[in-house]
C-alpha cells in the first residue's frame, strides 16, 4: 500500500511541476515586429512602358521608385513627409499605418509565412484606390539590425508609372495606349524606428 501511495504522490508531484513549468513558457515574438519607414524602393525586374512618340521603353532594374511606392502604400496617412510615415507590424498580427506614431490607421493584417517570407494584407482603408485592398507577398526577407529588406510585386496605376517615367526623364510622357495597371516587381528597404 505504501508503494502505491508513494507512486500516486510522485505522479501528482511530477504533474504539478510539469503544469507549473508550462506557464513559464513565453511566446516568441517575431523578429519582424516593429515600426518601419520605407527608405528605399527600386525596380527588381525590368518592365516596359509605352512612351508617346517612342514606343515601348524599358524601365531597368535598379531604377529608384521610392516616392511612387511611398505614395502607393502610405497615401491613406496624412503626414508632412514620407520619412515620418510608419508601417507598424504589431505583435498581434495587425498592420497599422501612422504619422510619427500618432493616430494609427488600421491597415490590415500580416503573417510570417517563413523566416524569409511575409504576407502583408492591406485593407481598402489603407489602399483607397483598391476596393478590396491588396495582399503583398514579400519574399527574400532579411533583417539586419534596423534594416528590413525584401522583394514584392504590386500593381501600380498608370499615373504612378507616369511619375516614374517623369523622374527618369521629365520630357517623357506615357502613351495613351498605356494600360491602367502595371504589375511592378521591386525591392524594398525599411528602416526600423
Burial of 30 per CB tally in 10 Å (0-12, 13-18, 19+): middle
Question: CATH number for the 34-192 domain, one of 2.40.128, 4.10.860, 3.30.460, 2.60.40?
Answer: 2.40.128
pLDDT of residue 2: 52
pLDDT of residue 29: 84
Q: Look up the pTM and report it.
A: 0.77
pLDDT of residue 84: 83
pLDDT of residue 12: 41
pLDDT of residue 17: 43
C-alpha cell at 24: 513559464
pLDDT of residue 127: 83
pLDDT < 50 positions in the chain: 4-21
Q: Where are the domains of the chain?
A: 34-192
- Report d(CA 1, CA 64) in Å as an integer: 81
- Tens digit of each residue's pLDDT (9 = 90 or more) over 18-58: 444 455 555 688 999 999 999 999 999 999 999 999 999 99
Amino acid at each position: 500500500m505504501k508503494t502505491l501511495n508513494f507512486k500516486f504522490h510522485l505522479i501528482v508531484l511530477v504533474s504539478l511541476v510539469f503544469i507549473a513549468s508550462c506557464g513559464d513558457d513565453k511566446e516568441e515574438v517575431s523578429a519582424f515586429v516593429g515600426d518601419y519607414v520605407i527608405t528605399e524602393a527600386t525596380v527588381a525586374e525590368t518592365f516596359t512602358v509605352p512612351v508617346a512618340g517612342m514606343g515601348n521603353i524599358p524601365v531597368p532594374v535598379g531604377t529608384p521608385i521610392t516616392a511612387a511606392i511611398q505614395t502607393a502604400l502610405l497615401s491613406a496617412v496624412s503626414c508632412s513627409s514620407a520619412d515620418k510615415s510608419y508601417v507598424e507590424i504589431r505583435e498581434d498580427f495587425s498592420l497599422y499605418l501612422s504619422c510619427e506614431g500618432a493616430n494609427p490607421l488600421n491597415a490590415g493584417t500580416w503573417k510570417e509565412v517563413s523566416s524569409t517570407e511575409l504576407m502583408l494584407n492591406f485593407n481598402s482603408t489603407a489602399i483607397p484606390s483598391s476596393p478590396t485592398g491588396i495582399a503583398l507577398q514579400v519574399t527574400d526577407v532579411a533583417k539586419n539590425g534596423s534594416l528590413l529588406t525584401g522583394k514584392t510585386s504590386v500593381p501600380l496605376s498608370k499615373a504612378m508609372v507616369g511619375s516614374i517615367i517623369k523622374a527618369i526623364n521629365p520630357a517623357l510622357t506615357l502613351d495613351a495606349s498605356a494600360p491602367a495597371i502595371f504589375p511592378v516587381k521591386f525591392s524594398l528597404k525599411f528602416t526600423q524606428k
